[in-house]
C-alpha cells in the first residue's frame, strides 16, 4: 500500500466481523459485534450484519477492535538523519505496529525548534493514514539555554515541547518553560537523567554492570532529576509529562506527586516492561538504550504503576540507528532501539498475565489523547472510524521480516511474543 496518498480512495467500505470491542468509555465495551464502515464512518454496530456485495470483510478468530492507538514518543530522524529513518518509512512502521497516531519527537537535524521545522513535518505528513502530532523543542536548538519559539510552533501545529533525550540541566529554564507553556495552554516533556551522576554511564548500575565491566547509570540519576522537576512543577503549576521512567523509585515519586493533585503524567517504554539488565550479558548494542534496561524489581514496580494508574502511557520510543551507529564497541555505540512494529507484542507479552486488556488499551488510546489534548475516539455509530484491529491471543516469533523500518536495531528479534496487529482504519483508509 502507498501510504502517501491514503485519502484518494473516498469510498472505502469495510465490514469488521465478530470483533470484541475494547473501549472502556464506550457503549459497546466487551461486546462481540459486527462493525460496518462506509466512506470512513461507522454506520452500523450490531450483533450480526450481512454485507452488501463487494464490501471488504475482515474476520478471524480472536479478533479485537479498539480506538486507534497513539504512540506518544517516536523519532523518525527526518529531517537531517534520513539514513536512519524518513517520515514516510516511519509512518509505515507505525501503521505496521497498529498505530493511527504518533507524537513525533524533536531528535532531528536541525531539531524541530521553530515554526518552519514544525510546518515541514505537518506538510510532509499530511494525508497519511497515520496522524502526526509534532513535538517542538523546549529550548532553542535543544541547547538548553533559551526557550524555544513555543507560541509560534504551537500555532504551526506543535502539540507540546521537549528536548527529547537531552536533559534540561538549567532548573530555571524548566521553570520558565512550565510557566510559558501554561499561558499558551500547552505542556512540556522532560527526560530525567542527571548527567553529573550518570556521566558516561552505559547500562544500569548494578550486578550486570559490575560483571561486564561497564560504567553504570544509577537509578539516582533519574530519580533526583525527576524530584527536581516535580518540585518546580509544584511551584509553577502547569502541565508536565515525563516521557519514560524506568525505576521503582520514579514510580513512587510520580505516585506521590499525583497524590498532591499536581498536573503530572508519565510513560514507560514497552521494552522496559519486558527486558531487564541481564539481556546485556552478550554485549549486544541493540540493548543500549536510555533510560537503560533496569532490574527485575524495577520492572515489577513499573507493572504495578500501570495497574494502579500511576503510569499513564506505554510508548515504543522508536529510535532508529543505522549499522554504523550500532555495530561498534559497546561504549561507542549510540543509544536507541526501534519499537513500533513490536510494541504491542512486547507490552502485551509483559503485562497480559497481570493487567486487564482494558487497562492496557487505555495506555495506548484514551490516556495519550487526554495528555495531548486531542479529541478522544469512541467506537459508536456516526463516528469517523479511527480503529486498531488486533489479536491478543496470537503467538509468534518476532523476526527481521516483521520490520519495515529503515534499520533493524531491535533487541526483540528472535523473541516469542503474544499479541499481533491485524489492521488499522483511519482517515477513510485501511492498512
Mean pLDDT of 51-79: 94
- The one catalytic residue among 317, 327, 331, 362: 317
Beta strands in 337-428 (DSSP E): 387-397, 416-426
191 closest CA partner among 221, 167, 159 = 167
pLDDT in tens, 345-371: 999 999 988 899 999 999 999 999 999
Mean pLDDT of 316-322: 97
pLDDT in tens, 2-51: 444 444 445 689 999 999 999 998 999 999 999 999 999 999 999 999 98
Q: What percent of the chain has pLDDT over 90?
A: 94
Higher pLDDT, 168 or 9: 168
Domains 6-65+382-430 and 68-372 fall in the same CATH topology: no
Mean pLDDT of 159-178: 97
190 closest CA partner among 156, 230, 152 = 230
In the annotation, is 78 catalytic? no
Mean pLDDT of 180-190: 97
Helix axes 296-307, 343-351, angle to 10 degrees: 90
Q: What is the pLDDT, as a whole number, of residue 9?
A: 44
Q: What is the pLDDT, as a whole number, of residue 145?
A: 95
Mean pLDDT of 257-269: 98
Q: What is the pLDDT, as a whole number, of residue 2?
A: 43
* 163 contacts 144 by C-beta, under 8 angstroms: yes
Q: Which CATH architecture has domain 6-65+382-430?
A: Roll (2.30)
State the pLDDT confidence band at 244, using cuts at 50, 70 and 90: very high
Helix intervals (H) in 97-203? 115-124, 150-156, 171-183, 195-198
Phi, psi of 110 (to 5 degrees): -70, 160
Q: What is the pLDDT, as a whole number, of residue 190?
A: 97
Q: Domain residue spans in the chain?
A: 6-65+382-430, 68-372
* Position 200 pLDDT exceeds 90: no
Q: What is the pLDDT, as a whole number, of residue 52?
A: 83
Q: What is the pLDDT, as a whole number, of residue 10?
A: 52
- Which of the following CATH numbers is that of domain 68-372: 3.20.20.140, 3.50.70.10, 3.40.50.1110, 3.40.50.2020? 3.20.20.140
Amino acid at each position: 500500500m502507498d501510504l502517501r496518498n491514503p485519502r484518494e480512495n473516498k469510498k472505502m467500505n469495510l465490514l469488521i466481523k465478530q470483533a470484541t470491542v475494547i473501549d472502556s468509555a464506550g457503549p459497546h465495551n466487551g461486546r462481540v459485534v459486527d462493525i460496518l464502515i462506509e466512506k470512513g464512518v461507522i454506520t452500523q454496530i450490531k450483533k450480526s450484519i450481512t454485507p452488501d456485495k463487494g464490501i471488504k470483510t475482515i474476520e478471524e478468530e480472536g479478533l479485537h477492535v479498539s480506538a486507534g492507538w497513539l504512540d506518544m514518543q517516536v523519532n523518525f530522524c527526518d529531517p537531517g538523519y534520513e539514513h536512519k529513518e524518513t517520515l514516510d518509512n516511519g509512518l509505515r512502521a507505525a501503521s505496521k505496529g497498529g498505530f493511527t497516531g504518533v507524537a513525533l519527537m524533536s531528535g532531528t537535524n536541525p531539531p524541530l525548534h521553530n515554526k518552519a521545522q514544525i510546518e515541514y513535518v505537518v506538510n510532509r505528513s499530511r494525508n497519511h493514514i497515520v496522524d502526526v502530532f509534532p513535538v517542538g523543542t523546549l529550548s532553542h536548538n535543544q541547547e538548553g539555554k533559551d526557550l524555544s519559539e513555543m507560541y509560534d510552533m504551537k500555532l504551526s501545529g506543535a502539540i507540546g515541547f521537549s528536548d527529547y533525550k537531552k536533559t534540561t540541566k538549567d532548573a530555571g529554564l524548566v521553570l520558565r518553560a512550565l510557566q510559558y507553556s501554561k499561558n499558551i495552554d500547552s505542556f512540556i516533556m522532560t527526560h530525567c537523567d542527571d548527567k553529573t551522576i550518570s556521566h558516561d554511564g552505559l547500562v544500569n548500575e548494578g550486578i550486570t554492570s559490575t560483571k561486564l565491566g561497564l560504567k553504570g547509570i544509577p537509578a539516582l540519576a533519574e530519580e533526583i532529576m525527576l524530584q527536581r522537576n516535580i518540585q518546580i512543577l509544584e511551584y509553577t503549576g502547569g502541565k508536565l509529562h515525563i516521557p519514560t521512567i524506568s525505576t521503582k523509585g520514579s514510580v513512587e515519586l510520580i505516585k506521590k506527586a499525583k497524590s498532591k493533585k499536581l498536573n503530572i503524567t508519565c510513560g514507560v517504554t514497552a521494552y522496559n516492561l519486558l527486558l531487564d539488565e541481564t539481556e546485556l550479558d552478550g554485549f549486544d548494542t541493540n540493548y543500549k538504550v536510555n533510560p537503560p534496561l533496569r532490574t527485575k524489581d524495577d520492572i515489577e514496580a513499573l507493572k504495578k504503576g500501570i495497574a494502579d494508574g500511576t503510569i499513564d502511557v506505554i510508548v515504543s520510543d522508536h529510535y532508529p540507528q543505522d549499522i554504523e551507529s550500532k555495530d561498534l564497541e559497546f561504549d561507542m555505540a549510540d543509544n536507541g532501539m526501534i519499537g513500533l512494529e513490536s510494541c504491542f507484542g512486547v507490552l502485551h507479552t509483559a503485562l497480559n498475565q497481570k493487567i486487564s486488556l482494558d487497562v492496557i488499551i487505555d495506555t495506548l488510546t484514551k490516556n495519550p489523547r487526554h495528555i495531548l489534548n486531542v479529541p478522544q475516539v469512541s467506537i459508536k455509530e456516526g463516528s469517523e472510524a479511527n480503529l486498531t484491529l488486533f489479536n491478543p491471543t496470537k503467538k509468534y516469533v518476532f523476526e527481521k521480516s516483521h520490520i519495515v523500518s529503515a534499520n533493524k536495531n531491535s533487541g526483540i528479534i528472535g523473541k516469542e511474543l503474544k499479541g499481533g496487529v491485524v489492521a488499522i482504519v483511519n482517515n477513510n483508509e485501511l492498512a
